[in-house]
Amino acid sequence: MQHQWDEMHRTRKPTFVLCGEPQGDVLNLYVHGYSAFFSQQQLGNFSQQLATIEGSTNLMLFWPAGHFLENLFAPFKDVITSMLGGGSLGAATIGVGKAIAYFLDHYKSVEARVDEVAKSLLPELANYLHGESIKVRQINLIGHSLGARLLVKSLLASPEVARELPLNNLLLMGGAICTSSPWDLVSAPLKGRVINCHSSKDWALALKPDTERCIGRYAIPLTPALKAKVANVHLATFDHAAYWPQLKTVVQYTDLLQERRGMIRADQRSPEVRFAEEDVDLFPLLVQARPEELKFFAELMAQKRSASIDATVREPLKLAIELQRMGGDTFMNLARGHGVSYREIAQDVAQRVGIKFDEPIEKVALADLELQIAERLIEQYKDKLSQADRQVFEAELKAAAQKEQGFFNRFDVGRSATTALSGTALAGLTGFILRRGAATAIPVVGQALAAAMLLVSGVRAFSGPAYSITTLAVLVIGVIRERLEREALNQEMDLVVQVVEAFDLPRETVMRTVASD
């Protein structure tokens, strides 16, 4: 890794980095975007992450995409020092102005570099594979942000080489390129499809310094000729920085390696399968669930006599379908061909445990729903316990929460900030339930729900396991969501630590400021 880092920064020429050992004859080429790596350690961590993608040989193009902190020492330090040290508003404003001007110039210079790199990318890839004697049957191209732009430009720049290479799918994530690009020419040499992952929450592209309507925020317009070659995948919860930390989810969700009947093939899925795979609040999270979480889900739902799965199932798709079925009315499920969305399940559980909101429940964030359900169940269950049992229960919750939030222990950000970031109630109750196991957790939640039902006018008292199952499922999905957000935040924190060390900023003050935000 040291060699690639030094060589690229010395020559400013792109270099290929093999991530892990070759795994078969399918090659994935990953291309990063602007401002991807601030240090050699970040590059190494990214390479290790790519090596964990199973079922393919994983190769990265490390190209001179710069970093927004390059040569930004003076204006950046001016503004931080002014803001943290109580300096004047004028000094801070000047520092911010310098930083913004630098950023715009720097980004445009890197953007201009894309065309130059694109001209030689595919020929150099062919030479690299030949020189390293890497035999491939199929090549998938995966690009993020400006990396997506680079791949599109390379297909347009070298159409002959593109036809000679066994190119299969082109996966674009948060692509910084215009929706009106010539997609017929881009897709022509591909045996598979152009897969465009986009999100309206990608604010980084919204703030891009031009008026370009980027595919990272909008779907590629589909003409009749393009429908067979282009697939738009809306990842509604993703922001611009979410793709790399959740790369495994994106690879599986889009079926990049064609391991199942997925979104990039002719859509012959049943309504149930399609509905489950398109539930962005549920299916991607189950794909990233830990083994013990999947085990719990299977054991939980297998307890219902009408369940169509048994306790040994671990496939995220089957578990998602089963949960959606259990969240809906049996006859309505038959009529529409599938169950209900996870969002509807969470809303139903929140209402049944008696949670009231100041705004329509449809507008409440899912994370808030999940957290308030956990807090309400803790409150109601503790009321049913003796003093001695309550102390044991609270100790269990504390131990489970500390285990889930242990990631924050390396930051001295204060108790209130740590609690806010870690979702203690949610992590604690879910950890407690997971340790007990599905069979013993049902009575715990069942008792709490029985008490809650008495609080809700017009709703009959709790009977049977159905709502215990969906309530426990909501808690576990909630803790998976919260864990993934913490892991993404961890990467951001690592960058902040490096900036603090590079610019010799007051560490404790900066960390407290970041945590409070």
The pLDDT assigned to 82 comes to 55
Per domain, the residue ranges of the chain are 2-268, 273-516
Residues of the chain with pLDDT under 70: 1-12, 38-39, 66-107, 209-210, 257-269, 397, 400-466, 486-517
CA 351, CA 459: separation in Å to the nearest integer? 10
Q: Distance between alpha carbon 268 and the CA centroid of its chain, in Å?
A: 27
CA 240, CA 246: separation in Å to the nearest integer? 11
The pLDDT assigned to 104 comes to 63
What token pair was written down for 328? 């809906």
Q: Strands 15-19 and 57-62, how do they pair?
A: antiparallel
The pLDDT assigned to 219 comes to 92
Its pTM stands at 0.56
Report which of 362, 140, 358 is spatially closest to residue 259, judged by C-alpha positions. 140
Identity (one letter) of the amino acid at 329? D
Report which of 307, 286, 246 is spatially closest to residue 476, judged by C-alpha positions. 286
Alpha helix segments (H runs only) across 353-386: 366-382
CA 382, CA 388: separation in Å to the nearest integer? 11
The pLDDT assigned to 181 comes to 93
The pLDDT assigned to 30 comes to 94
Instruction: Identify whether the C-beta of residue 1 lies closer than 8 Å to the C-beta of residue 114.
Output: no
The pLDDT assigned to 70 comes to 56
6 pairs with which residues across the strands? none
Report which of 362, 353, 217, 345 is spatially closest to residue 279, judged by C-alpha positions. 345
How many C-beta atoms surround the C-beta of residue 441 within 10 A? 23
What token pair was written down for 65? 């995409």
DSSP string, 131-169: HTT---SEEEEEEETHHHHHHHHHHHH-HHHHHHTTEEE
The pLDDT assigned to 161 comes to 95
CA distances from residue 15 to 10, 59, 420 in whole angstroms, order as listed? 12, 10, 42
**Long-range residue pairs from 67-72, CB within 8 A, at least 24 positions apart, any chain:** 67/35, 67/36, 67/37, 67/38, 68/34, 68/35, 68/103, 68/106, 68/107, 69/35, 69/38, 69/499, 69/502, 70/106, 71/102, 72/99, 72/102, 72/103
The pLDDT assigned to 419 comes to 35
Alpha helix segments (H runs only) across 242-290: 247-253, 271-277, 283-287
Q: Return the beta strands (E) in 256-333 as ranges.
A: none
Report which of 299, 292, 195 is spatially closest to residue 252, judged by C-alpha positions. 195
With vertex at residue 281, the alpha carbon angle to CA 287 and CA 348, rounded to the nearest 5 degrees, is: 125
The pLDDT assigned to 414 comes to 35
Instruction: Identify whether the C-beta of residue 53 lies closer than 8 Å to the C-beta of residue 28.
Output: yes
Query: What angle do the packed helices 466-503 and 507-516 form, to 10 degrees?
Result: 150
3-class secondary structure, 31: strand
CATH of 2-268, one of 3.40.50, 1.10.3470, 3.10.290, 3.30.70: 3.40.50
The pLDDT assigned to 240 comes to 86
**Range 51-61 burial, b when 16+ CB lie within 10 A, else e:** eebeebbbbbb
